[in-house]
Amino acid sequence: MASNDSDARQRHWEKTRNLNTIVLILWAIFAIIIPYFASALNAFTFLGFPLGFYMCVQGSLIAFLVLIWGQNWRQDQIDDEFGLGD
Amino acid sequence: MTTTTQEGRRGRFLDNLGKVYALYTLGFVVFFFLMALLESMGASAQVIGIGFLLFTIAIYAVIGWLSRTAEVDAYYVAGREVPALYNGMATAADWMSGASFVAMAGGVYFGGYPYLGYIIGWTGGYVLVNSLLAPYLRKFGCYTVPDFVGTRYGGNTARLCAVIILVVASFTYVTAQINATGTIAAQTLGVPFEVGVWLGLIGIFICSMLGGMRGVTWTQVAQYIVLIIAYLVPIIWMSNRQDFGIIPHFSYGEALNRIAELEAQYGLNPAAQPIPGVSVLTTPMNAPEGKGWAMVSLAICMMAGTASLPHILMRYFTTPSVRSARRSVAWSLFFIFLLYFSAPALATLTKLQLLDPTLATSVIGKAFADVSNLEWVKHWSSVGMLAVQDQNGDGIVQLNEFFMRPDIVVLATPEIAGLPYVISGLVAAGGLAAAMSTADGLLLAIANALSHDLYYKMIDPQADTRRRLTVARILLLFIGVAAALIASLQLTGILGAVAWAFDFACSGLFFPLVLGVWWKRANAPGAIAGMIGGFVAGSLYLYLVFNKIIDPWMGIDDIRFGIIGMPVSLICMVVVSLATREPSKEIQEMVDEVRVPSGRTILAAGH
């Protein structure tokens, strides 16, 4: 029982860590890479905005919101799968 | 007997939060229309401004009084009973300071693309808070951030290092907030700045002294409602009046292109004779070419700083569960987003109104005599925040002859657009709410760290509840007074000091906090080395660059010194951790326990 329990915890943490890695990669894309290349993105137009500017003032912000809500939704699933939710 | 009735009343309050705050919002809207009515009956601008400030502060005071408490759990973590949605609002108010409310749109107006680093940084940081820290710190069950450092790494040295960094970062930040409170109070009430500072401080104490974290939580929710109404109403009103669209946020792309044309037409030249304290527009609105690093380096410091500033992290200690802590991070970012995606719209539309000769509100290219007779130009010139000087003597206002202090863009926009004064009163109340709520959170973070970690954990562990709370309140008083004294010296602009706070926090605390959860091998000597190394390296760099002893290296100037501090902190922490013994079995098991949401907290209530 005890070993089962610690096994479940280990797999829970593995899944949590993998989810976090994905979230942080996406975060780096929207928070660092896209703003860095705003100049190149400005060649495109989106909703009448230069795309680079749009990403810095709205696009990335919306992406952050989706990332957090998405991660929490998935993390709740992981917690429930192993019966470790609170 | 008293406790049961008090608990009963609190239970009813928590069950009816929606109703209570809906009623409050309605009351505020009714008050707004009452003021509008007074204005149409001929009340002066000053009367309306005073009305707004006194009414809102009176409400905060009532909430502060009703939330008074004598329990440690309520004082430090609001009894851990704040629902996710409301904690999200409270965090948003805690987070959005005078700088976000008053200075951000002005910064975008004058600073252009590199400045957008603040917008990305102050929202993207929440992804780090949510994924790396908030749920785990909630599971830990600590009262303060140094409480986590002290327990995770063990020993008073680590705890003390965390306390010192917390105090330096938060104190830098709080002086800027008290400064902003004083500026707004002074302008609206027509009193000297020094008097405004002390009046603002009294308002801050009313919210935080009696109820601690509980009082601050419920006033911050009220302050969020005021500040978001005060930010959005003028933008939407102005936009409809000037035909920029019903909700301008999604349709101001055209305005950007028009501004780029006008900037090219007028030319962005420095002023012939600069005027101290005010500036002319020299940076194009949307020109990111070659400035990617300037923008991203700023954003990185602000994001890591967000994830290490104790007054934000401690808000997530107040939720009932780990899951609700995560959920409240999501709500926090949503409520912050509402303001942050409006600020660039406000900056763009205000700029267009001033620049575009086809709009009635424009000043550039108009006759000098007409412009200097405009009501709002006279008003802001008289307080030295605006200047129009015909420096080339052609009788026409050129773009480089129109001087403005960046901070006033938000405050002056309603007047520029010709909105009634009641809107300006509303904006003043919103700015005050933003600055006060952040100052509350910061003062409490400092006072709690000193009273809980320094006094109770290190100096007098035998102290009883009464004594602990008395010490906490006395410290709050002293720190508030010290911050107000420094604020009245007016050392830096609102934004300079705010950015420094983030850099201090991320230099010293980011890696010790994150690795405390994510790297089991991290030990006390490593954490101490990381905190001292990062903090000292960052501060030293700030000192050298700020005093012009060295030139900024790779464009890393005084508002970006976290870029220097963080890597030093990481390297020190990893190297020293690996060179010393791994943490004890108990500590490693504690880290395992923190990583699962279920089960008891590590630290018991009342610890």
Binned at pLDDT 50, 70 and 90, residue A26 comes out as very high
Q: How many CB atoms lie within 10 A of CB A75?
A: 23
- The values of phi and psi at residue B388, to 5°, are -125, 120
Residue among A23, A30, A42 whose CB faces B288 most closely: A42
Stretches in chain B below the pLDDT threshold 70: 1-11, 490-496
* A53 part of contact set with chain B, CB < 8 Å: yes
- Tell me if A71 is assigned to some domain: yes
Nearest residue to B589 (alpha-carbon basis) of B580, B574, B599, B604: B599
For residue A32, give the chain B residue with the closest CA.
B296
- Tell me if A86 is assigned to some domain: no
Number of domains in chain A: 1
Of A17, A61, A73, A76, which to mutate for an interface test with B (greatest number of B Cβ within 10 Å)?
A61
Q: What is the ipTM of this complex?
A: 0.94
d(CA B541, CA B127): 28
Q: What is the DSSP string of B319-338?
A: SSSHHHHHHHHHHHHHHHHH
Of B130, B235, B339, which to mutate for an interface test with A (greatest number of A Cβ within 10 Å)?
B130
For residue A45, give the chain B residue with the closest CA.
B253
Residue among A20, A38, A72 whose CB faces B113 most closely: A38
- Tell me if A68 is assigned to some domain: yes
d(CA B282, CA B336): 29
Contact B256 A53 (CB under 8 A): yes
* B599 part of contact set with chain A, CB < 8 Å: yes
> Which chain A residues are within 8 Å of B590, Cβ to Cβ?
none
Nearest residue to B346 (alpha-carbon basis) of B425, B403, B266, B416: B416
> Which chain B residues are within 8 Å of A46, Cβ to Cβ?
253
Residues 331-370 of B with CB under 8 A from A: 333-334, 337, 340-341, 344-345
Question: What pLDDT score was predicted for residue B496?
Answer: 60
d(CA A27, CA A58): 15
* A2 part of contact set with chain B, CB < 8 Å: no
* B505 part of contact set with chain A, CB < 8 Å: no
All structural domains of chain B, each given as residue ranges with its CATH number in brackets, are 17-266+289-349+419-501 (1.20.1730.10)
d(CA B158, CA A62): 38
Range of the domain at A62: 2-81
Q: Which stretches does DSSP call E strand in chain A?
A: 45-46, 49-50
For residue B340, give the chain A residue with the closest CA.
A57
> Which chain A residues are within 8 Å of B330, Cβ to Cβ?
65, 68-69, 72
Assess contact for B343 and B334: CB atoms under 8 A: no
Distance separating the N- and C-terminal Cα atoms of chain B: 26
d(CA B517, CA B346): 40
Question: What pLDDT score was predicted for residue B2?
Answer: 44
d(CA B480, CA B473): 11
Contact B292 A12 (CB under 8 A): no
Report CA-CA distances (Å) from B85 to B20, B337, B428, B565: 14, 15, 26, 35
d(CA B168, CA B157): 17
For residue A76, give the chain B residue with the closest CA.
B323
Sign of CA dihedral B589, B594, B596, B602: positive
Residue among B135, B330, B340 whose CB faces A69 most closely: B330
Question: What pLDDT score was predicted for residue B8?
Answer: 64
Contact B286 A69 (CB under 8 A): no
* B395 part of contact set with chain A, CB < 8 Å: no
Residue pairs spanning A and B at CB distance below 8 A = 142
Residue A1 reports pLDDT greater than 50: no
Residue among B288, B330, B598 whose CB faces A86 most closely: B598
- Tell me if A42 is assigned to some domain: yes
> Which chain A residues are within 8 Å of B116, Cβ to Cβ?
35, 53, 56-57
Contact A35 B290 (CB under 8 A): no
Contact B295 A83 (CB under 8 A): no
> Which chain B residues are within 8 Å of A62, Cβ to Cβ?
337
Contact A24 B253 (CB under 8 A): no
Sign of CA dihedral B439, B136, A33, B248: negative
Residue A62 reports pLDDT greater than 70: yes
d(CA B312, CA B513): 14
Contact B251 A54 (CB under 8 A): no
Assess contact for A48 and B251: CB atoms under 8 A: yes
For residue A17, give the chain B residue with the closest CA.
B518
Residue among A12, A35, A61 whose CB faces B596 most closely: A12
> Tokens at residue B425, please?
């009163």
CB hemisphere CA count around B490 (13 angstroms): 9
User: Which residues have a Cβ under 8 Å from the Cβ of B94 and sit 6 or more positions away?
Assistant: B216, B220, B311, B312, B315, B437, B438, B440, B441
Q: How many helices (H) and strands (E) does chain B have?
A: 27, 2
For residue A55, give the chain B residue with the closest CA.
B120
